[in-house]
Amino acid sequence: MPLTPEQKAQIEAQRAESSATRRPTVAALEEVLYQAQPVLDHGFVRVVDYMGDDAAIVAAARVSYGRGTRRVSEDAGLINYLMRHRHTTPFEMCEIKYHVKLPIFVARQWIRHRTANVNEYSARYSILDNEFYLPAPEHLGVQASANRQGRGDALTGDEAKRVMELLRGDAEQTYAHYQDMLNEDEDGKAPDPGRQGLARELARMNLTLNFYTQWYWKIDLYNLLHFLSLRADAHAQYEIRAYAEVMLETLKRWVPITYDAFCDYRLGGFNLSAKGLEAVKKMLAGVEVTQKDSGLSPREWREMMAALGRQG
C-alpha cells in the first residue's frame, strides 16, 4: 500500500492537529483517526471523521439529555434489545466517513449500497495512477460449479502463471495506451509536442477494472451495519470482504457495545422463516422432520441444518 509523500505528509499533519470540543469523542477510534489501514496490494481504508458513539444511540432511543448515571450494562442491554428487535432509527444518529482506495471492479460492487454519500476521484480532472490489483495466488480461483457468482479452488501451476501474466500484461498495456492518448506527463507537459492529447474523460475508458480509484464514503451506522452484514459475510467476494473486515475493526473501536451486539445478532446469528421455526419446534419435541416435511426448499433446509450443526 504505497502512499505518496504528499499523502503521508497530509496524514501526519492531520494527526498532529488537536481540537477542543464539547462533543463526545471515542479514544480508541481517535488512536487510528486519519491512519491508512492497508487492504489488498495497493488499497487502504482510513477513518477521516465520525459523529456519535454508543451513548448517542442510547440517548436517541430514550430521547434523554445525556449519559446521566446509567451503567454500561444498562446501555448494552438497550442496544442489544434494539439490535435484536431491529429498531433501526437510533443507530442512524451516528455517522462515519471513510477515505477508501479500491479497485474499480470492487467500487462498482460497493456502490450498489445506495445509502451513503460518495465523492469519487475524478479521472476527468486528474490522471489515474499506474496502480492495479493482482490477486494473490491463493485467490486466483476457478469458477465455482455450484455458485454462479463465486469462485472455487485456486488455479495452480502453468495455468495460474498464464492467467497472472494475462492480467498483468493487459493492465500494463492499457495504461501505456492511456498515457499515449493523454500525451501528458505528471508536470502537464506533452512528451510528443507535435500532437494533441485526448481528453482525460475519454482516455480513461480503455483502462481495465483492476485499476485503483479512491473515494470519500460517509454513511450512518445503521446502513454501515447493513453493508458489513453482507460484505463481511463468508459468501461475499474476497476482495470486498477484505475491506469489510478492516472496517469491522474500526466499528469495534468506534462503538464497541454496538459491535458486540452486531456480532451476536447479525454476523453470528441466523434468521429462521416461519416454516423453519416450526420445523425446529418439532425437532425439539422429538419429532423426526425431513426437508420434504418441512416445506422448505432444499437450499433453505441445508442452510438451516448447517446453522444448527446437524446433517441435512
Residues acting as catalytic residues: 231
Reference 223, options 215, 231, 213, 214; nearest CA is 231
Q: How far apart are CA 32 and CA 49, in angstroms?
A: 11
Residue pair 45/56 in contact (Cβ under 8 Å)? The answer is no
Residue 86 DSSP one-character state:
T
Q: What is the DSSP code (8-state) at residue 58? A: H
C-alpha cell, 213: 480509484
3-state secondary structure 177-224: HHHHHHCCCCCCCCCCCCCCCCCHHHHHHHCCCCEEEEEEEEEEHHHH
Q: Which residues pair with 100 in a beta bridge?
A: 45, 215
Q: What length does the chain have?
A: 312
CB-CB contact of 255 with 224 (8 Å): no
Residue in 116, 96, 91 with CA at minimum distance from that of residue 46: 96
DSSP at 132: B
